[in-house]
Structure 1
């Protein structure tokens, strides 16, 4: 006696069904990643890399909304003398953290896989503090603090400098290859 499979659906027996299942799974994975983009807060004691990035444990974090000079970048002061503005930015971030634990609210990732986050130490927004000190430029939310730093001629605004993005573009991979942390894998 032969069984009839009336009404029984077997979607994965055909090539089309298998491709449809894969497409559905990929769509679900992308949506899950997109919905979880913000992520849970992360905290800990950082290892500062430069004026806008650091490590919290195994996580690489970049401060959202600012762009600080690169570690090897130099700027000129009001008397046209060079000064190590990249190192000054890193040192300012070290001072702001001052052995405190940070709390960071992730808001996605950059093209290098770093977590983009708004971080605070001792209740103070680190991005805001860096821009207000004139040691980072506002990329988004700190326009008022940047304007005040410009008027007061603090930090970078006391002389002339290349925007960090322009400096990176001009120095390319050479600057990254010479960075003190370049020997670490994945950085």
Structure 2
């Protein structure tokens, strides 16, 4: 019985920004999307234009109270886990694109996993 409880604690996630979650200390970067930066765009970077706080709140609402499934596919240059995240069975990356809080990045979609899940977003 302890295993399901430990799993539930591990998958309790919070939104740190519009495309990154903190899941029990593990930083999880949603695969295939880019959301506006929470603290603005750092010099020398090309960033998505938009409201970073609104994007963070949108992903927080999406994952809040949802059953999460995290399909890990690797790590990025910042050491974050790259993953396809499903909230109550729905691909969180697709939901963020559909809501206008993120843009699809084919070059960040390892294996085209996000594109397969969200054809309705007209990637």
- State TM-score, norm by structure 2: 0.70
Whether contact under 8 Å (1:73, 1:84) holds in the other structure is no
Partner of 1:58: 25
Superposed CA RMSD: 2.3
| Residue 136 of structure 1, aligned match among 70, 86, 102 | 102
Instruction: Please identify which structure carries the higher helix content.
Output: 1
| Residue 72 of structure 1, aligned match among 39, 43, 48 | 39
The Cα offsets for residues 106-136 of structure 1, whole Å up to 9 and x where unpaired, read as: 0010001100000011111100000111110
2: CA distance, partners of 1:93 / 1:106: 18
| Residue 86 of structure 1, aligned match among 29, 52, 67 | 52
Partner of 1:117: 83
- Note closer, same or farther for the CA distance 1:131–1:84 as it changes in structure 2 (3 Å cut): closer
| Residue 46 of structure 1, aligned match among 7, 10, 13 | 13
More contact order relative to length (CA 8 Å, sep ≥ 6): 2
Bigger-Rg structure (1/2):
1
Question: Structure 1: which 5+ residue stretches go unaligned?
Answer: 1-42, 75-82, 149-187
2: CA distance, partners of 1:102 / 1:130: 15
1:102 and 2:75 matched? no
Local SS of the residue matching 1:69: coil
2: CA distance, partners of 1:86 / 1:121: 21
Number of matched residues? 98
The Cα offsets for residues 92-112 of structure 1, whole Å up to 9 and x where unpaired, read as: 101111222321010010001
